Amino acid sequence: MEIRKPIPEEIQQIRRLSPQALSEGTLGKAEPDRDKVRQLVDPLLKKGCYYLIAAEEKRLAGWVLIGESKDSFTDRVIGFVYELYVLEHFRGRGVSRKLMQEAVEQLKSLGYPEVRLSVYAGNHALHLYESLGFAPRTITMTLPL
């Protein structure tokens, strides 16, 4: 398994799979179409965020989207993990961990003082993030009406 930046064909594959990835990541709360995904991701890519992929024998196994963000209270610039996804066939094999470890290393090497991410309560990736040292910082709560 190699972790690297994707080639254009792999980026197109990510774009095709992103609606499913976002739906799964939000536990089905969001059902975005490709246009919505484009609205969310294109500005990130334009500001310098980038994908890292996990590939096995030239097959896309998963990806992580990383880059810069700014703390809304302090204006401090930080590293951010915007998206993590592993294709179902490759799950349970440590792909997410490898992607996250490489993402954190790259963000660290770029000089960011910390790395943040957001995750839906109940998402199974929460356990992975905690095992890598991430801890809750803010909690968004909801009250359905």
Measured over the CA atoms of residue 103, residue 42, residue 19 and residue 121, the dihedral's sign is positive
Encode pLDDT of 49-91 as tens digits: 999 999 999 899 999 999 999 999 999 999 999 999 999 999 9
How confident is the model over 119-133, as a mean pLDDT? 93
CA gyration radius, the chain? 15
Question: What's the CA gap between 115 and 5, in Å, rounded?
Answer: 19
Q: Does the pLDDT value for residue 142 go beyond 90?
A: no
Confidence at residue 77, expressed as pLDDT on a 0 to 100 scale: 97
Structure confidence at residue 134 as a pLDDT band (50, 70, 90): very high
Encode pLDDT of 84-121 as tens digits: 999 999 999 999 999 999 999 999 999 999 999 999 98
How confident is the model over 35-43, as a mean pLDDT? 92
Packed helices 34-46 and 8-25: angle between N→C axes, nearest 10 degrees:
120
Instruction: Please name each of the domains of the chain with its CATH number.
Output: 2-131 (3.40.630.30)
Q: Does the pLDDT value for residue 16 go beyond 90?
A: yes
Question: 26 by DSSP, 3-state: which?
Answer: coil
Contacts of 145 (CB under 8 A, 6+ apart): none
Q: Does the pLDDT value for residue 23 go beyond 90?
A: no
Confidence at residue 94, expressed as pLDDT on a 0 to 100 scale: 96
Do 49 and 63 meet the contact criterion of CB atoms below 8 Å apart? no
Confidence at residue 110, expressed as pLDDT on a 0 to 100 scale: 97
Question: What's the CA gap between 60 and 82, in Å, rounded?
Answer: 18
Do 55 and 2 meet the contact criterion of CB atoms below 8 Å apart? yes
Q: Does the pLDDT value for residue 132 go beyond 90?
A: yes
